[in-house]
Chains A and B, each alone.
Chain A
Amino acid sequence: MYFGILKRDLKRKKTMNTILLIFMILSVMFVSSSVNTMLSVMSATDRFLDLSGAEDYFAATIGEKSGEDALKKLNELDCVSSLKSERIFYFNENSVKYKGKTAEISSNGVLNSVDDISIRIYDTNKNELTKVNDGEIYVKSSFLEKNNIPVGAEIEITSGGYTGKFKVKGTVLDVLFGSEMMGTPRFIISRNEFDKFVQSSTDEKYDMYKGTILNISTDDLSKVENIVSGIDGIAFTGTRDVIKLTYIMDMITAGVFLIVSICLIIISLVLLKFTIGFTISEEYREIGVMKAIGIRNSKIQNLYMVKYLAMAIFGAVVGFFAGIPFGDMMKAQSAKNIVSGDENDIFVNLICSAGVVLIIALFCRISTRKVKKFTPVDAIRNGESGKRYKKKGLLSLSKSHTRPVFFMAVNDILSGFRHFAVMTVTFVVGILMITIIINTISTVQSPKLLAWFSMADCDVALEDKECIDKYNRPDGQKLRSDYLEEMEKTLAENNIPAECFGEALFKLSVQKGDKKTVSLAFIGSGTTTDQYAYIDGTPPESVDEIAISYITADKLNVKIGDTVTVKTGGENEEFIVTALFQCMNNMGEGIRLSEKLPMDFSKVLGYFSYQIKFTDNPSDTEQNERYDIIKKLYPDYKFRTAGEYLDYTISGVAGAMSGTKDFIILMVMIINILVVVLMEKSFLTKERGEIALMKAMGFKNHTLIAWQTIRIALLMAAAVIIAILLTDPLSQLAVGGIFRTMGAKYIVFDTNILDAYIIYPLAVFAVTVLASMISALGLRSISSQEVNNIE
């Protein structure tokens, strides 16, 4: 008899079983591959650091003297057990030319000689790169991709007093500069070529092109940090952990898939509960008979579990194997900048698959507990027929004025609330995936986010690649603000009322008591400090006031009102903290100085684009016209709207997410179609008698189809509303975490109401309702005579 029940079930519920299986396979596949990818990328980053010979702490200096200074000071330290250094030669964003045109690079770059490098680097075949011929160059792979440069092409690099021509020999895997998040590219050339750059740049004005990278092994990080922060001309510092963190963005696809797979597991469990509940209540007769002849509850439970467990195991096996190539694909993408990222740890896949099976088994055990509720008599007599849901009569047809089918749909949902709630959950999960990703994309692209990157709100960003050449001189501050004023005038003459401003970045040592850190320092030209966003306090007004990022504040244990010492190189070194802000530059460390503070711009680390803010709230069409005018006025600058600029700043996260967005929307639709087909199938089985009865009484097919469809539509509508309400809190939880690791604390998501709450939910709604209508068509084949075959 046991086998009979199983066999009949497998045959009769073909569609339901298939759909369940699909969900199980997909969950296992996604979980195992995404977990595997994330784990292996994370551990691979570690191994990559080891392989490369990376030590505990890195620092990069600007200028020959500061490098020597750093070496001397660090060598004196006891806690430094090994100290490797390498010469580097900086080049500007605009200094690489391909086919006569300036190539796109997101920030300053670094040239290294292969013989000098202090870590091991690798070529694309993952062999250590030890030799580069004269006239050849190895570059970062994303540089080639971005500029469409093929291997073998010739590029030209001008820096300091020398211009060199190089044949691109290949790409390099470089732990320090390799991640997508690390904007600075490092190119590798031969020592001879490197020396040509150095020897042609003996002039004092080229000093800032020469730098040193220090690779420090120590058992006292804070002491080293302290010493390093006391050195002038530090361009970059990072612990091993910070370098590891830069690879997070490389894993974003895997992260999205992990979230999707969690959703899939939830949906699988929900469907499982639904199907088990349905099967058991449908087979109360068999259960009753089994109980009557004295079979124990647990035995009956096992009978039902066996099937789902078998399905889960089958699903896990298929998912496991499907997950391997899928994971490889994901890894190839996520670990393309890592030497050791593509080892497949089958063990992780195994554990994940087994984990999913275990969860399903546990869940089955819980879901089949219902078997115990039936007493033999109860089961034989009336089974499920309504007893489960106590008091109905919530609504009454006699008191309502709606159409009977609508009334019945609402009444059904209220009567079988738990049952239908289960379905709503799956819909909610799907819609949430869509709303969260859309809102994240629009947040990442919204001008609001500029504030998180320590920039004032603007409409247009113009990138001038020659900023360093133009302004890195003692009087640069005045030059720059004069230029911005002139720009305002030019725009006004072209009927564009606007403010122009920009940011300059320094790396300054900040100290409070015995606590010290090197922090990014922002100083505006053409702005006032109240144009920026603060979390707490009032914007710095006078030159001896300062705003400080909360992460830096935490590090130094500083509160508003405290005084900190900043090595500005000028007269003012004591500043009163008046405000706290958050920034996602440099992992959340930053300070903002008053724009009135005189600074020596020859020490500037870099500049953000010139920013233009229209002062008269122009309409969209007007804005577009202005964009064209600005492009014509400043053809040498790279034009970006604020949104484009942000996307560019966080290295195309929005673009990557937009890709996954389409995939997720498609997936949610498919999931919903599958769920609806499964549910509708079970409804048609369960309500066969009622449908036959209504047909006998004279209800038309389309009326009954409407009844079935309205129910799903109502659930779907409820799901949309619930999902919209949950979007923000869950976005904070899921996506907020990523921003938090980047240094943001208070995240306000930008809501794209039209897309997130109207268009896409409506599309999913339409698809789902259509699917339910099509599957409800199945009721046409139910004949009114079947009313007499009903128990």
Chain B
Amino acid sequence: MKKILEVTDLCKTYVINKRQNNVLRNVSFSINEGEMVAVMGPSGSGKSTLLYTVSGMDRMTAGEVRFSGKDISKLKPNDLAELRLDEMGFIFQQMYMLKNLSVMDNILLPARQSKNNPMTSKEKFEYCRELMHKLGIIEIADNDINEVSGGQLQRACICRSMINKPKVIFADEPTGALNRSSSDEVMDELCKINSEGTTIMLVTHDAKVAARCTRVLYIVDGNIKGEYNNTESDMRKRERSLNNWLLEMGW
């Protein structure tokens, strides 16, 4: 298996009022192509920070992050931006979108902005419709973003993260703001996308969500305390054994 993300000795320190806060301390792990990795851990343990640092949204203090072979700490801000635009997708807990654009235009925006996306405008438009169709939100294409439900909006965010056919999708608590059934629907979509080949790294507080991933990383105080592979095929058993493991970790 090819490694899409290789993280070695990653450190991240925030300095506030001359007080150092070592949020990430020598984190090392790697993610293979096609994996779906969940990151769990107590609040404030540095999950979001990890996600932002490995995706180049935030600068690391020390260590090395290789994204499909490239050392992202060596990239300039503009190259990082380009990398995020073309090869990464992002989903956030808040389904944040540009309020002056319609749902569809929001999804289309990164595609139109990308110079490396080989599709023509028309193809991008078709692909956008196809994605929206697949995620069942085609009927809200022309709606205003405050005229749709949270679940629909999060699915639209997934479409947006997919529009440039990224190698990896990073998601920070994508189901955090959704109710159970919306959350299940969103996870269904993410799993489907993953099964079609896109690597996913997501942060979650929800064991049910984590159970649907192939692997779970558990972080405490900026360190990976444990790693768990979901090997069970039966969903029920899978959840139960993951919960047991999480209890062991101090969940």
Q: Which residues of A contact B (CB under 8 A)?
A: 382, 385-387, 391-393, 396-398, 401, 403-405, 407-408, 411-412, 415-416, 689-690, 693-703, 783-785, 787-788, 790-791
Q: Is the CB of B96 within 8 A of A787?
A: yes
Q: Which chain B residues lie closer than 8 Å to A387 at the CB level?
A: 146
List the 6 shortest-distance A-B pairs measured between CB atoms, nearest first.
Answer: A698-B85, A698-B84, A397-B105, A415-B100, A386-B99, A784-B57
Q: Which chain B residues lie closer than 8 Å to A703 at the CB level?
A: 113
Known: A398-B125, A404-B112, A783-B58. A699 touches B100 (CB 8 A): no
Q: Is the CB of B101 within 8 A of A408?
A: yes
Q: How far is the CB of A700 from chain B (nearest CB, A)?
A: 4
Most buried by B among A403, A696, A784: A696
Most buried by B among A393, A398, A403, A699: A398
Known: A386-B145, A386-B146, A398-B125. A697 touches B85 (CB 8 A): yes
Q: Which chain A residues lie closer than 8 Å to B82 at the CB level?
A: 698, 700
Q: How far is the CB of A779 from chain B (nearest CB, A)?
A: 13
Q: How far is the CA of A397 from the CA of B110 in the complex (A)?
A: 11
Q: Is the CB of B112 within 8 A of A397?
A: yes
Known: A393-B142, A783-B58. A398 touches B104 (CB 8 A): yes
Having A785-B52, A788-B92, one finds 13 other A-B pairs with CB under 8 Å, namely A391-B144, A392-B102, A393-B142, A396-B104, A398-B125, A404-B113, A407-B112, A408-B101, A411-B101, A693-B96, A698-B83, A699-B113, A701-B81
Most buried by B among A385, A393, A697, A790: A697
**Which of A392, A698, A785 is in CB contact (< 8 Å) with B81?**
A698
Q: How far is the CB of A685 from chain B (nearest CB, A)?
A: 15
Q: Is the CB of B128 within 8 A of A699?
A: no
Chain B stretch 39-74: residues in CB contact (< 8 A) with chain A: 48, 52, 57-58
Q: How far is the CA of A791 from the CA of B94 in the complex (A)?
A: 8
- What are 30 A-B residue pairs whose CB atoms fall within 8 Å in the complex? A385-B99, A386-B146, A387-B146, A393-B144, A396-B105, A397-B105, A398-B108, A401-B121, A407-B112, A415-B100, A690-B98, A693-B96, A693-B97, A695-B57, A696-B57, A696-B84, A698-B81, A698-B82, A698-B110, A698-B114, A699-B85, A700-B77, A700-B78, A701-B81, A783-B57, A784-B52, A784-B58, A787-B92, A787-B94, A790-B94
- The proximity string for B residues 196-207 relative to A, scoring 1 for CB distances below 8 Å and 0 otherwise, is 000000000000
Q: How far is the CB of B121 from chain A (nearest CB, A)?
A: 7
Q: Does B209 contact A (CB under 8 A)?
A: no
Q: How far is the CA of A195 from the CA of B108 in the complex (A)?
A: 97
Q: Does B35 contact A (CB under 8 A)?
A: no
Q: Is the CB of B125 within 8 A of A788?
A: no
A690 (CB) vs chain B CBs: closest residue: B98
Q: How far is the CA of A694 from the CA of B114 in the complex (A)?
A: 12
Q: How far is the CA of A698 from the CA of B77 in the complex (A)?
A: 10
B129 (CB) vs chain A CBs: closest residue: A398
Q: How far is the CA of A790 from the CA of B112 in the complex (A)?
A: 25
Known: A699-B113, A703-B113, A784-B57. A392 touches B100 (CB 8 A): yes
Q: How far is the CA of A40 from the CA of B160 in the complex (A)?
A: 68
Q: How far is the CA of A416 from the CA of B52 in the complex (A)?
A: 32
Q: Is the CB of A397 within 8 A of B96?
A: no
A395 (CB) vs chain B CBs: closest residue: B105
Q: Is the CB of A398 within 8 A of B105?
A: yes
Q: How far is the CB of A584 from chain B (nearest CB, A)?
A: 54
Q: Which chain B residues lie closer than 8 Å to A696 at the CB level?
A: 57, 84, 90, 92
Q: Which chain B residues lie closer than 8 Å to A404 at the CB level?
A: 109, 112-113
Q: Is the CB of A788 within 8 A of B94?
A: yes
Q: How far is the CA of A397 from the CA of B142 in the complex (A)?
A: 11
Q: Is the CB of B144 within 8 A of A392?
A: yes
**Which of B58, B93, B108, B114 is in CB contact (< 8 Å) with A785?**
B58
Q: How far is the CA of A398 from the CA of B48 in the complex (A)?
A: 33
Known: A393-B144, A696-B84, A790-B96. A701 touches B101 (CB 8 A): no
Q: How far is the CA of A263 from the CA of B121 in the complex (A)?
A: 46
Q: Is the CB of A408 within 8 A of B81?
A: no
Q: How far is the CA of A518 from the CA of B41 in the complex (A)?
A: 102
Q: Does B88 contact A (CB under 8 A)?
A: yes
Q: How far is the CA of A777 from the CA of B121 in the complex (A)?
A: 30
Q: How far is the CA of A415 from the CA of B146 in the complex (A)?
A: 14
- The proximity string for B residues 120-141 relative to A, scoring 1 for CB distances below 8 Å and 0 otherwise, is 0100010010000000000000
Q: Is the CB of B102 within 8 A of A396?
A: yes
Q: Is the CB of B100 within 8 A of A386?
A: yes
A396 (CB) vs chain B CBs: closest residue: B105
Q: How far is the CB of B51 from chain A (nearest CB, A)?
A: 10
**Which of B81, B97, B99, B145 is in CB contact (< 8 Å) with A695?**
B81
Q: How far is the CA of A385 from the CA of B81 in the complex (A)?
A: 27
Q: How far is the CA of A701 from the CA of B98 in the complex (A)?
A: 17
A389 (CB) vs chain B CBs: closest residue: B100
Q: How far is the CA of A689 from the CA of B94 in the complex (A)?
A: 11
